Amino acid sequence: DTAVSQTPKYLVTQMGNDKSIKCEQNLGHDTMYWYKQDSKKFLKIMFSYNNKELIINETVPNRFSPKSPDKAHLNLHINSLELGDSAVYFCASSPGTGRSYEQYFGPGTRLTVT
Amino acid sequence: AQSVTQPDIHITVSEGASLELRCNYSYGATPYLFWYVQSPGQGLQLLLKYFSGDTLVQGIKGFEAEFKRSQSSFNLRKPSVHWSDAAEYFCAVNAGNMLTFGGGTRLMVKP
Identify the band that residue A1 occupies on the pLDDT scale cut at 50, 70 and 90: low
Question: pLDDT tens digits for B13-67?
Answer: 999 999 999 999 998 778 899 999 999 888 899 999 998 888 999 999 999 999 9
- A44 touching chain B per CB within 8 A: yes
What's the mean pLDDT in B86-104? 91
Residue type, B34: F
- Provide, as residue numbers in chain A, all residues whose Cβ is less than 8 Å from the Cβ of B51: 100
Q: Are B4 and B92 in contact (CB under 8 A)?
A: yes
Q: Number of A to B CB contacts under 8 A, please give it.
A: 59
Query: Which B residues, 61 through 100, put their C-beta within 8 Å of a C-beta on chain A?
Result: 88, 90, 94-100
Please report, for chain B, how many H helices and E strands are present, in that order: 0, 12
- Asked if residue A8 has a cis previous peptide bond (ω within 30° of 0), the answer is yes
Question: pLDDT tens digits for A8-46?
Answer: 999 999 999 999 999 999 999 999 999 999 999 999 999
B63 C-beta neighbours (distance < 10 Å), count: 20
pLDDT mean across residues, chain B: 94
- B8 touching chain A per CB within 8 A: no
As a 3-state breakdown, chain B gives helix, strand, coil percent values, each rounded to 5, of 10, 50, 40
B60 C-beta neighbours (distance < 10 Å), count: 10
Query: CA B85 to CA A30: how far, in whole Å?
Result: 32
